[in-house]
Amino acid sequence: MDIKWIDSETITKENVAAELADVDGILVPGGFGDRGIDGMIYSIQYAREQKIPYLGLCLGMQLTIVEFARNILGYKDAHSSEFNPSSVHQVIHIMPDQDGVTDLGGTLRLGSYPCVLSKESKAFRLYGSDHIDERHRHRYEVNNDYRNALTEHGMLLSGLSPDGHIVEMIEIPDHPWFIGTQAHPEFKSRPNKAHPLFKGFIKAALSHQDKQ
């Protein structure tokens, strides 16, 4: 595997195709702050439109929702309240039980949480189970007000918290391999025991390479 590290601050609408033309998989990882998020969104759009295997982790999944809302739902100002509190369409917002909390460092949704996977999802086939546990480190989540719009336009909310309140994982079923997770699978992946999402992502990238 050859890793091509890309500084998302250098990615623009004009150069994204040239920068990513030679890759067989695109991964947008977790992070905090608004540095480089426009480049991440352009990269996600490129992966979705060009049918390149994609994996979004935490912030990567949240920006996947933003990109889909902007370019598929037509909400051009869609954003996360973390980055644009004045956006009309805050498709990602702060978890309700964290609203009003000012001590940001101590209020993360932190540690292992259960998730129920749709049996129609790629994630279910990768994990081999519909009940999983993954580690988290975040304060923002998918705004449930937009769930219906997302699913009506082709997104599968493939993983939910057991009470059905929190969107944990998403997929685009008509894409060869496009998955986003709110969790951090890298926390549970090992050199001799790769996490199911990473194994699936690499397999999909190799398949894309063969087709090319």
Catalytic residue selected from 58, 79, 89, 171: 58
Which distant-in-sequence residues (6+ apart) come within 8 Å of 185 by Cβ? 57, 134, 195, 196, 197, 198
Answer yes or no: 195 catalytic: no
Query: In 3D, which of 4, 153, 174, 140 has the Cα closest to residue 61?
Result: 140
- Separation CA 117–CA 125 (nearest Å): 10
Query: In 3D, which of 85, 35, 28, 84 has the Cα closest to residue 59?
Result: 28
Question: Packing angle between helix 37-49 and helix 59-71, nearest 10 degrees?
Answer: 70
- Separation CA 104–CA 108 (nearest Å): 7
Exposure b/e, 33-66, CB count within 10 A at least 16 = b: eeebbbbbbbbbbbbbebebbbbbbbbbbbbbbb
Enter the tokens of residue 77.
């100002």
Catalytic residue selected from 93, 136, 138, 184: 184
- Separation CA 37–CA 18 (nearest Å): 18
- Do 172 and 154 touch, CB atoms closer than 8 A? yes
Q: Which residues are catalytic?
A: 58, 184, 186
